Chains A and B, each alone.
Chain A
Amino acid sequence: MKNFLIVLILCLMLPTVVMAQDEVGSFELPQYQMGSQMFTFRAGPVIPLFVYFPYDNSPIETDTHMKTGGYGSIRYQGFTNSQLALGGELGYYFAYSQSDLFTSVPVQFSMSWIPVQGTVELPISLGLGFAYNSYDQSSYLSMFASFEVGLSWYFTDSWGITLSAGYWLIPELYSSEKKTDTAIANTMPIILSVNYRD
């Protein structure tokens, strides 16, 4: 048993030693640098979490009456340094309530930080923008905020896929007599992306 443990520990240490030798023996250019670009095509389901009605006695409404919807978007980002990319995203989100279709067209300024790079990457993104929301005969231009963590795998130098999960906030703000309708929708997108980096 003792010998087995020793062998196991050695096996676990071996790649570390090999990688350490690589680091000592060569100098790797960072994956991205200023001017690098990334195009992303994104789609996936969006799960409604809850709606926050700040003026209600029970402000958190978990029974949103909204079904799991779908989202599709295109995103373009340019790198300002080896880890930080700035850009924009235009999307389309739809979800059915119990009776009608809710749609939202978010336009976001996005910022991504990619601390782990290479074949496997770990992008963390923040988005802020606005969205044109429509439901039944109503429409509303709101802010839109998003946070997302993903895991990417590049199967070629340029092409990769990302699976990410996030958190969206869509605030609907009112004043005076309609202030009781003020709400913040909280949803969770699960997005599969196809990335092209240059």
Chain B
Amino acid sequence: MKHIAQIVIIIAVLLTFIGCNMDASEGIFRQISKSEPIVDVGMTTILKIANSGTTIYALTSKGGLVRYDVVTKQPVRLDGESPISQVLVGSNGTDIMYTVYNGTTWYKLDDSDNPIAQNLPPRQVITTSLYGGWELSRGTASGSFDLYHDLTKVVSDLNSTFSTYPWLIAQDTTAGGIVLVTGLAADSTSNNIKYSHVLYDSSGIFATITTPINNPIVAFAYDENSTKLVAITSDGKVYGGTKSGTTFSMAAGDTTLSFLPNGITGKPIPSFIDSTGNLVIQGSSLFYSISPTKVVTQIQDSYAPSLRSSTFKITSMILDGTDFYGGTAKNGIFKVDLTDDSVDWL
């Protein structure tokens, strides 16, 4: 019996050391205790919050474009079961538009949420900024592409600046919004990879980032008062700079952020700008808040541990007053009340 007790004690001590986290970014039982049912609509991209938060418009990978009633929890499909290719919310934050696969027509939801084909010259839409009304479409010349804002062409032949299709990231401003176009530079070669990052507004070039940043920018925030720009690149570096004329000279900070790619490395990641002008993203562990002066802070508010990316992969974020809404890869939509940090799954 004495030997048995010794064996048990030895095994217990050994296992105390063996028991270790192998690759869990968050405790397994913590993840489980926060798990939410998988919503059978697939990946959810929030487009618009309406009727004081009781109605949410969203694009879902399985259910198409839907209007979701938060009270009855009933989604209504609005796109006529057409496979949607691109979706766009206008700069007014109200208009919802989409194109279908192999289509060259924009459809816009009318006041009754019926999709109405827009009477525009047909064009092949390449990508959109999702919010803010920005769109990249093929040009008339072979290989060319143009920048549109609210379905109106702003800049032709962006291919003279970018060699391949760039990404678009929009931000609301008092002057009607800006978009950061980020992608491989036109003079980039396989031996000398270069990226271009240019901000546009509805009248053309707003400013150009002149500092060589040889990775795509995945999120940014521009502070109109201080004219400071903070940008996060796909490798997690944080750059900051101040506008001078029509250029930004940027410098990298010391902190490297860790976050999950948004499907493809280099594609813009979900972000929002909070009431104090800080850029907020979901990191691999907690959320990050980045000030216009590129000071990085990990958000410790109680909502952050409840929404770790190991449990909930956020695919879109919208700030609506003191609430922020998130669409997720598998679990539908949540709302965070920033006044008390409560998280509600809708």
Residues of A bordering B, CB below 8 Å:
51, 53, 61, 63-66, 86, 97-100, 102, 109, 111, 128-130, 133-143, 170-174, 178, 180-183, 185
Contacts and interface: CB of A to CB of B under 8 A. Distances in A.
B38 interface: yes
A137 B28 CA distance: 9
A102 B32 contact: yes
Interface stretch (B12-20, B183-191, B217-225): B12-20
Given A129-B11, A143-B15, A178 B32 contact: no
B62 interface: no
B34 interface: yes
Contacts of A174: 21, 27
B24 interface: yes
8 contacts: A53-B29, A99-B330, A128-B11, A128-B12, A136-B311, A138-B26, A140-B21, A171-B19
Interface residues of B, number: 33
B27 A172 contact: yes
A68 to B, nearest CB: 14
A58 B13 CA distance: 29
Contacts of B32: 51, 64-66, 97, 102, 135
B28 A140 contact: yes
Interface of B: 4, 7-8, 11-12, 15-16, 18-38, 305, 310-311, 330-331
Contacts of B311: 136
Contact of B4 (A111, A139, A181): A111
Nearest to A142: B19
Given A130-B15, A140-B22, A143-B15, A64 B33 contact: yes
Contacts of B21: 140, 172, 174, 178
Contacts of A137: 23, 310
A100, A140, A171 interface centre (most CB from chain B within 10 Å): A140
A141 B20 contact: yes
Contacts, number: 110
Contacts of B23: 137-139
B19 A143 contact: yes
B4 A86 contact: yes
B19 A141 contact: yes
A130 B29 contact: no
A130 B11 CA distance: 10
Give the dominant DSSP class at A's interface.
strand
Nearest to B312: A99
Given A65-B34, A99-B37, 12 more contacts: A53-B33, A99-B38, A99-B330, A102-B32, A128-B12, A141-B18, A141-B22, A170-B29, A171-B19, A173-B16, A180-B305, A183-B27
Contacts of A53: 29-30, 33
A136 B310 CA distance: 8
Nearest to B16: A143
A63 B34 CA distance: 9
A183 to B, nearest CB: 4
The 4 A-B pairs with the shortest beta carbon distances in the complex, nearest first, are A181-B27, A138-B24, A97-B35, A183-B29
A139 B22 contact: yes
Contacts of A129: 11, 15
Contacts of B29: 51, 53, 64, 170, 172, 181, 183, 185
A183 B37 CA distance: 22
B15 A139 contact: no
B327 to A, nearest CB: 15
Nearest to B30: A181
Nearest to B3: A80
B310 A99 contact: no
A35 B311 CA distance: 50
Contacts of A181: 26-27, 29-30
A102 B33 contact: no
B17 to A, nearest CB: 10
Contacts of B12: 128, 143
Contacts of B38: 98-99
Contacts of B331: 99
Contact of B310 (A109, A134, A138): A138
A98 B35 contact: yes
Given A109-B11, A140-B24, A130 B35 contact: no
B19 A130 contact: yes
B346 to A, nearest CB: 15
Contacts of A133: 28
A137 B38 CA distance: 16
Contact of A63 (B22, B33, B36): B33
Contacts of B305: 180
A139 B21 CA distance: 7
B40 to A, nearest CB: 12
B27 A130 contact: no
